[in-house]
């Protein structure tokens, strides 16, 4: 432990993000690193607990408590405090293939379970993680890793999101020849097209890592839509094993009156189209655009926030984000104790930007949408909302009840549905004959990852349902371990 009194001497401090008025004029990342002295002080706040909860990665009350990939947080906090940055990076890479991703987009369940957080602001774990990995890239410490020998085994990974990438990297380290199939025009999956550029830069961060993986011997094939232009049975015939990492990309719809009006889109339609436009010349060419429009985002969570941030950069006329749940409390409640994930109110980057321009948090709570209104040409013009109250039914289940007299017509020319995902797309799953569970996910036990077909594994959101990037990395690593065991009879992969 670097400084036993660090948590007493230093207050929690975060870097100051770029101002909303500045950052909404471009698509560059809005986070800025702190100077080294302050970062080392923040590392000194780590208490080196006898029982550190930050890296446990357990589910408590259905939510992550601690790091799902078991990052050795106290160790690299201590190394940062002592200025041993390369050693800190080595510790980080022992558990995390892509800390430059998680250091930017992970909601940091590690901080929610930090022991210091019981009665003080927790350690700035996520910020330190990002600083370590970015320092590593800047210093040239992150290099391609070719395996010492090849096993002669061929593995196909379907999907290049965080689960597919971590699985591919681990299998390559084990010496297998790995080919990753991606249906989009660029690799990265959710990391490429599901998260906007201002949160995770595509050229400087995502494609940089993909290039490193290619230099390590991993092959990527894009525009490979398995089940459409790639025959699924080829994997069973030509590869020794296959790992499905296709994600949970089937969005939850809102089938109410007016759903087919022009101007109502799933969130991922906007986010994908916008990132493609940014990469191909500029967001002004995005086919779905919020400029000078009244925008309604239906649903909270990270995807909803990303829709708010994207609309702000387009130059929307107004923006409202509708949430069916109540507004979270400012502090933990008695039924949400440490080390559970804290279900408390926070302003994310998108809401901060909307508040800076329009004067208030754009979210309205305990509200649902009843109807989309359009003009004679089929263009969306407004929506009808109503306030709700959660009440128990005869079975003891909480259900939303509309409150009479609370209907409201809100102007809207663009509505974005960000209500989560229902599971993997079923066409490919059914075509190859994989068994599914009651939630339509590919059936494969956690920490086993084997499906109903011998030699076929599943990991990430297509197995567990919509979840965090860090859980996807956890599952990709786990599936690689079990795939290696299947191929070789034993495994040294963690």
- CA separation for the pair 164, 415 (Å, rounded): 31
**Reduced to 3 states, what is the DSSP secondary structure of residue 414?**
strand
Residue 28: inside a domain: yes
Burial tier of 51 (Cβ tally within 10 Å: 0-12, 13-18, 19+)? exposed
Domain encompassing residue 236: 154-249+422-488
C-beta of residue 312 within 8 angstroms of C-beta of residue 354 = yes
Burial tier of 265 (Cβ tally within 10 Å: 0-12, 13-18, 19+)? middle
- CA separation for the pair 159, 446 (Å, rounded): 19
Mean pLDDT of 286-290: 98
Kindly report whether the peptide bond that precedes residue 339 is cis, defined as omega within 30 degrees of 0.
Answer: yes
Please report, for the domain that includes residue 299, its CATH number. 3.50.50.60
Task: Give residue for tokens 């209500």.
Answer: 419
Residue 87: inside a domain: yes
Based on the fold, state whether residues 71 and 119 are members of the same structural domain. yes
Given this model, what pLDDT does residue 368 score?
98
Based on the fold, state whether residues 183 and 238 are members of the same structural domain. yes
Q: What is the pLDDT of residues 299-312, one digit of tens each?
A: 989 999 999 999 99
C-beta of residue 224 within 8 angstroms of C-beta of residue 186 = no
Given this model, what pLDDT does residue 233 score?
87
DSSP 247: -
Report whether pLDDT(319) > 70: yes
Residue 144: inside a domain: no
Instruction: Count up the domains in the chain and report the number.
Output: 3
Domain end: 367, 398, 419, which one?
A: 419
Among 361, 385, 363, residue whose Cα is nearest residue 372: 385
C-beta of residue 172 within 8 angstroms of C-beta of residue 490 = no
Given this model, what pLDDT does residue 450 score?
97
User: DSSP per residue over 345-377, as a string?
Assistant: ----HHHHHHHHHHSS--EE-SEEEEEEEE-TT
- CA separation for the pair 372, 212 (Å, rounded): 47
Based on the fold, state whether residues 37 and 82 are members of the same structural domain. yes
C-beta of residue 264 within 8 angstroms of C-beta of residue 256 = no
Task: Name residues whose C-beta falls within 8 Å of residue 280's C-beta, 6 or more positions apart in sequence.
Answer: none
Residue 149: inside a domain: no
Q: What is the pLDDT of residues 470-493, one digit of tens each?
A: 999 999 999 999 999 999 999 999
- Cα Rg of the chain, angstroms: 23
Q: What is the pLDDT of residues 22-37, one digit of tens each?
A: 999 999 999 988 999 9
Domain end: 367, 401, 419, which one?
A: 419
Based on the fold, state whether residues 116 and 60 are members of the same structural domain. yes
Cα dihedral value 144, 145, 151, 154, nearest 10:
-40
Six-digit token string for 418: 């960000």
324: left (phi over 0), alpha (psi -120 to 50) or beta: alpha
Q: Which residues of 194-204 are buried (b: 16+ CB within 10 A; e: fewer)?
A: bbbbbbbbbee
Based on the fold, state whether residues 310 and 335 are members of the same structural domain. yes
Based on the fold, state whether residues 164 and 27 are members of the same structural domain. no
Burial tier of 360 (Cβ tally within 10 Å: 0-12, 13-18, 19+)? exposed
Based on the fold, state whether residues 431 and 449 are members of the same structural domain. yes
Give the range among 48-52, 107-111, 176-180, 468-472 with minimum mean pLDDT. Answer: 48-52
Based on the fold, state whether residues 337 and 265 are members of the same structural domain. yes
Report whether pLDDT(187) > 80: yes
Among 179, 176, 136, residue whose Cα is nearest residue 156: 179
User: DSSP per residue over 178-212, as a string?
Assistant: EEEE-SSSSS-TIIIIIS-TTTS-IIIIIHHHHHH
Q: How far is CA 450 from CA 44, 422, 437, 482, in A?
A: 43, 21, 13, 8
If pLDDT is split at 50, 70 and 90, which confidence band does 68 have?
Answer: very high
Based on the fold, state whether residues 310 and 387 are members of the same structural domain. yes
Domain end: 400, 419, 438, which one?
A: 419
Based on the fold, state whether residues 19 and 120 are members of the same structural domain. yes
Report whether pLDDT(2) > 70: no
- CA separation for the pair 238, 234 (Å, rounded): 6
**Reduced to 3 states, what is the DSSP secondary structure of residue 408?**
strand
* Percentage of the chain exceeding pLDDT 70: 100
Residue 148: inside a domain: no
Q: What is the pLDDT of residues 360-379, one digit of tens each?
A: 999 999 999 999 999 999 99
Higher pLDDT, 2 or 79: 79
Residue 146: inside a domain: no
Among 42, 45, 225, 33, residue whose Cα is nearest residue 136: 33
Six-digit token string for 437: 């569970």
Residue 396: inside a domain: yes
Please report, for the domain that includes residue 124, its CATH number. 1.10.1060.10
Mean pLDDT of 5-10: 94
Q: What is the pLDDT of residues 189-239, one digit of tens each?
A: 999 999 999 999 999 999 999 999 999 999 999 999 998 899 988 998 999
**Reduced to 3 states, what is the DSSP secondary structure of residue 67?**
coil
Based on the fold, state whether residues 57 and 122 are members of the same structural domain. yes
Given this model, what pLDDT does residue 1 score?
63
Based on the fold, state whether residues 305 and 362 are members of the same structural domain. yes
Q: What is the pLDDT of residues 385-412, one digit of tens each?
A: 999 999 999 989 999 999 999 999 999 9
User: Reduced to 3 DSSP states, what percent helix, strand and coil does the chain have, rounded to the nearest 5?
Assistant: 35, 20, 45
Residue 484: inside a domain: yes
């Amino acid at each position: 432990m670097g400084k036993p009194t660090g948590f007493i001497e230093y207050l929690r401090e975060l870097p100051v993000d770029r101002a909303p008025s500045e950052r909404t004029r471009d698509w560059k990342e809005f986070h800025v690193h702190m100077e080294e002295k302050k970062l080392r002080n923040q590392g000194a706040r780590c208490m080196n607990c006898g029982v550190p909860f930050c890296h446990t990665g357990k589910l408590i009350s259905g939510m992550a408590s601690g790091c799902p990939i078991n990052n050795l947080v106290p160790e690299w906090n201590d190394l940062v405090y002592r200025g041993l940055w390369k050693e800190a990076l080595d510790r980080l890479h022992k558990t995390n293939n892509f800390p430059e991703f998680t250091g930017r987009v992970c909601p940091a369940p590690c901080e929610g379970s930090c022991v210091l957080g019981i009665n003080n602001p927790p350690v700035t774990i996520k910020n330190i993680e990002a600083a370590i990995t970015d320092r590593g890239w800047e210093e040239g410490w992150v290099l391609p890793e070719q395996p010492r020998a090849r096993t002669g085994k061929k593995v196909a990974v379907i999907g290049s999101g965080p689960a597919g990438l971590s699985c591919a990297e681990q299998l390559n380290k084990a010496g297998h020849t790995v080919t990753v199939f991606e249906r989009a025009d660029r690799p990265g999956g959710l990391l490429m097209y599901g998260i906007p550029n201002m949160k995770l830069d595509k050229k400087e961060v995502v494609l940089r890592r993909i290039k490193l993986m290619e230099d390590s011997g991993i092959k990527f094939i894009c525009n490979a839509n398995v089940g459409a232009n790639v025959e699924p049975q080829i994997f069973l015939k030509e590869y020794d094993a296959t790992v499905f990492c296709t994600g949970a990309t089937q969005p939850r719809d809102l089938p109410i009156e007016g759903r087919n009006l022009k101007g109502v889109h799933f969130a991922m339609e906007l986010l994908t189209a916008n990132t493609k436009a940014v990469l191909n010349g500029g967001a002004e060419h995005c086919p779905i655009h919020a400029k000078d429009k009244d925008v309604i985002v239906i649903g909270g969570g990270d995807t909803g926030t990303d829709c708010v941030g994207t609309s702000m950069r387009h130059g929307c006329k107004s923006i409202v984000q509708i949430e069916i749940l109540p507004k979270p409390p400012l502090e933990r409640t008695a039924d949400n104790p440490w080390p559970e994930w804290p279900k408390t109110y926070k302003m994310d980057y998108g809401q901060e930007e909307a508040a800076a321009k329009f004067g208030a948090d754009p979210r309205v709570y305990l509200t649902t949408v009843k109807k989309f209104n359009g003009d004679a040409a089929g263009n969306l013009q407004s929506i009808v909302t109503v306030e709700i109250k959660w009440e128990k039914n005869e079975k003891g289940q909480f259900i939303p009840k509309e409150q009479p007299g609370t209907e409201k017509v809100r102007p809207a020319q663009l509505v974005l549905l960000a209500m989560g995902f229902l599971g993997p797309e079923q066409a490919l799953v059914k075509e190859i004959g994989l068994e599914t569970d009651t939630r339509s996910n590919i059936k494969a036990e956690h920490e086993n990852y084997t499906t109903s077909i011998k030699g076929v594994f599943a990991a990430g959101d297509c197995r567990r349902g919509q979840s965090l990037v860090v859980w996807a990395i956890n599952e990709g690593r786990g599936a690689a371990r079990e795939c290696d065991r299947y191929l070789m009879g034993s495994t040294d992969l963690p």
